[in-house]
């Protein structure tokens, strides 16, 4: 009998040192800085290389796949068990009290971008594998710990890996919640485009509107520039509006224009209600002002069809499934320039029973404007589900129950993990029940005690799945 928690605790200092070295690397995808060697930008590639170097140091076999993905390998056998993590992070964004890439420990929490999504859990799973190796426990399967480098965007890395390397037979991703995630909604983004066909002249002209940094993040700040008359009044009105809606406002007048800024609360787009969408609130405020026809259409459409509509009812896309629950809709990236038109990117997490093509049609039909179109942006992912009767799910839940004393149960989420790339793939931890979901938020953190507890759970779970 192995005391898994004791083994994890004995390695805590080493684990935190290795984790810190990974967290210190800003690894958001940055294709604008990509090269032939680093197609997704240098940050993700550096984080991947560091993780693989840790594996090599500890005697594992490693492989780097074109600097966009890689694996740490152990064991032998005809079947492949896969662990699926990612080394990229979403951009830090505003609102941090500490440097997001200089990890600090406060009140038992490790604070840094990526601490909970996904570098902290990924390192916990690595140390779980390391425990099995160092204890020389017998295994009868190959274990491939696979790392992608743009899980937070287009999955180029993991898709390339699967093109040139063997696909695991089954496995899990340490990138979500305990007790288990054995179902994931479909995910698709929809780009609503406003063609520049309306007039931009008026007593007040919307010159610029911008909010959001990633399709899977509720935008925390929004900025608009308005030109014209009575700009002092506009700034005062924004301050009143912000106070009434628990937002933070700022207005700066310069050269016959006013820059208006609203600050809300960022969150993971899988549950828009966890955030306060600065983009839709600023559009709501501006829709109540007298603007030029093109600018008025842009903000009016947002306020009418997208503001406080996390379930897509106003858009006409609402859908609920008994197994997977409600569809969620989160408008996350806004861009408008006078004379050039504008766009809004809506991130939708949808259950089985609908599809991306139908949702796209419904959005376009609901907005119903001659100069407004809608199209699917990027790759759409279908809903994914592994039965609760599958031995993989049963084994993981049994381990969770043994180590925590808490009952296990199935869960379906709106988040997307690498678990869905395998027919028998799930997500397993590392956020424990009752802990706040701070993924994609400013001041992201993970309790150190939870990292160590997750390491123990992962170690036992991996061993139960690969033992003779």
Which residues are identified as catalytic?
88, 151
The Cα 205–Cα 225 span in angstroms is: 9
3-state secondary structure of 84: strand
CA atoms within 13 A on the CB side of 296: 13
Six token digits for residue 258: 């006013």
Check if the beta carbon of residue 145 is closer than 8 Å to that of residue 125: yes
Q: Write b or e for each residue in 133-166: b if 16 or more Cβ atoms lie within 10 A of its Cβ, otherwise e.
A: beeebebebbbbbbbbbbbbbebbbbebbbeebe
Q: Are 408 and 180 in contact (CB under 8 A)?
A: yes
The residue among 183, 122, 171 whose CA lies nearest residue 149 is 122
The Cα 251–Cα 223 span in angstroms is: 10
DSSP 317-382: ---EETTTEE-EEEEEEEEEETTTEEEEEEEEEE-TT--HHHHHHHHHHHH--TTEEEEEEEEEE-
Contact (Cβ atoms closer than 8 angstroms) between residue 152 and residue 63: no
CB 374 within 8 A of CB 206: no
Pick from 113, 174, 131: nearest CA to 15 = 131
- List, in order, residues 6 or more apart from 373 with CB less than 8 Å away: 192, 193, 195, 364
Sole residue written with tokens 């890996």:
161
Measured CA to CA, the distance from residue 390 to residue 386 in angstroms comes to 7
* Coil/strand/helix, residue 321: strand
Phi, psi of 23 (to 5 degrees): -65, -25
**431's tokens:** 């956020």
What does the chain come to in residues?
468
What distance in Å separates the CA atoms of residue 379 and residue 382, rounded to the nearest whole number? 10
């Amino acid at each position: 009998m192995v005391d898994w928690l004791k083994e994890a605790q004995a390695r805590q200092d080493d684990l935190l040192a290795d984790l810190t070295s990974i967290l210190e690397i800003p690894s958001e995808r940055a294709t604008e800085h990509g090269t032939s060697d680093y197609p997704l930008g240098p940050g993700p590639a550096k984080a991947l290389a560091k993780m693989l170097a840790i594996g090599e140091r500890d005697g594992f076999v490693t492989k780097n796949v074109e600097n966009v993905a890689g694996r740490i390998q152990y064991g032998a056998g005809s079947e492949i068990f896969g662990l699926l993590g990612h080394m990229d992070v979403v951009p830090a964004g505003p609102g941090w009290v500490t440097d997001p890439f200089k990890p600090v420990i406060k009140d038992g929490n490790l604070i840094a971008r990526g601490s909970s999504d996904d570098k902290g859990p990924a390192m916990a799973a690595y140390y779980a594998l390391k425990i099995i190796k160092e204890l020389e426990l017998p295994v009868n399967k190959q274990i491939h710990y696979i790392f992608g480098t743009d899980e937070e965007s287009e999955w180029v890395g993991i898709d390339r890996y699967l093109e040139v390397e063997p696909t695991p037979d089954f496995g899990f991703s340490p990138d979500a919640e305990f007790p288990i995630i054995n179902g994931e909604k479909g995910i698709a983004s929809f780009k609503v485009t406003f063609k520049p066909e309306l007039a931009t002249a008026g007593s007040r002209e919307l010159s610029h509107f911008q909010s959001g940094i990633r399709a899977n993040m509720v935008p925390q700040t929004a900025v608009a520039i308005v030109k014209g008359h009575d700009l002092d009044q506009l700034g005062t009105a924004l301050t009143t509006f912000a106070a009434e809606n628990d937002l933070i406002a700022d207005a700066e007048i310069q050269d016959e224009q006013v820059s208006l800024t609203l600050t809300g609360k960022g969150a993971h787009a899988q549950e828009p209600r966890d955030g306060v969408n600065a983009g839709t609130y600023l559009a709501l405020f501006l829709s109540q002002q007298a603007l030029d026809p093109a600018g008025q259409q842009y903000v009016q459409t947002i306020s009418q069809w997208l503001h406080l509509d996390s379930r897509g009812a106003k858009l006409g896309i609402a859908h609920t499934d008994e197994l997977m629950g409600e569809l969620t809709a989160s408008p996350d990236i806004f861009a408008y320039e006078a004379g050039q038109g504008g766009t809004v990117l809506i991130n939708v997490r949808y259950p089985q029973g609908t599809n991306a093509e139908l949702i796209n049609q419904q959005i376009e039909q609901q907005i119903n404007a001659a100069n407004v179109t809608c199209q699917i942006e990027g790759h759409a992912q279908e809903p994914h589900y592994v039965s609760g009767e599958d031995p993989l799910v049963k084994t993981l839940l049994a381990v969770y129950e043994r180590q925590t004393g808490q009952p296990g149960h199935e869960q379906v989420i709106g988040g997307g993990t690498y678990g869905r790339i395998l027919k028998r793939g799930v997500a397993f931890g590392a956020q424990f029940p009752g802990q706040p979901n701070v993924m994609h938020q400013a001041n992201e953190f993970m309790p150190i005690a939870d990292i160590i507890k997750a390491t123990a759970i992962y170690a036992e779970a991996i061993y139960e799945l690969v033992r003779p």
